[in-house]
A and B are shown apart, each in its own frame.
Chain A
Amino acid sequence: AQKITQTQPGMFVQEKEAVTLDCTYDTSDQSYGLFWYKQPSSGEMIFLIYQGSYDEQNATEGRYSLNFQKARKSANLVISASQLGDSAMYFCAMRASGGYNKLIFGAGTRLAVHP
């Protein structure tokens, strides 16, 4: 069965510092996709970054980068130069097998950025 695990319920970081949010996954598929979404207190889910299982390089999008370690089945999100506006819930997700691009979400990590 496919599963996403986020073991950090909450994280704190000082403004302007970098932070890593952990995500491990379990799948028997050879082809899969991994996503990170941000959910501020307002509730909307904001797409941050995507990593395909066959991508040779780690994905980067501005201050976000994904540390993809395929052998360890981990896809950690790194946020550089944290800003106060980064305070939110962060969800790691994996595209499920079986078509239709269904997503399986982890439990989420709440990030608090302190000034």
Chain B
Amino acid sequence: GAVVSQHPSWVICKSGTSVKIECRSLDFQATTMFWYRQFPKQSLMLMATSNEGSKATYEQGVEKDKFLINHASLTLSTLTVTSAHPEDSSFYICSASTSGRAPDTQYFGPGTRLTVL
């Protein structure tokens, strides 16, 4: 149980285009989903927290207009990188947790590697 999928697993795009990444909880309902960014050989940095049906909460320094997050259902959250630039190239990982399930562990997706040319 507790499987989270991400799609696509990798994407290459041209500078200026937008890229959408999907995060799905496959066998549980995720009341909260998280989006992280990880640069090579670095730790995970939380970008935003999203709850189903409400606006995402962004961490300080994360541009909400550039990284659009939608959490339309209890099993799906999407991250759209708008007008992507080479500096947005990174590994993006989502995670999902469900309330009432001790210890409210976050289960992570396999990640999406974004390369912007």
Contacts and interface: CB of A to CB of B under 8 A. Distances in A.
Contacts, number: 51
Interface stretch (A11-19, A20-28, A37-45, A70-78): A37-45
Given A95-B104, A102-B46, A45 B57 contact: no
Contacts of A108: 43
Question: Do most interface residues of chain B lie in helix, strand or loop, or is the interface mixed?
Answer: strand
A1 B105 CA distance: 22
B106 A103 contact: yes
Contacts of A102: 34, 46, 49
Given A45-B95, A103-B46, A37 B108 contact: yes
Contact of B51 (A42, A44, A100): A100
Contacts of B85: none
Interface of A: 33, 35, 37, 42-47, 50, 52, 91, 95, 100-103, 105-108
Given A100-B51, A103-B106, A107-B43, 10 more contacts: A33-B103, A44-B108, A45-B93, A45-B111, A46-B108, A47-B106, A50-B103, A100-B49, A101-B106, A102-B49
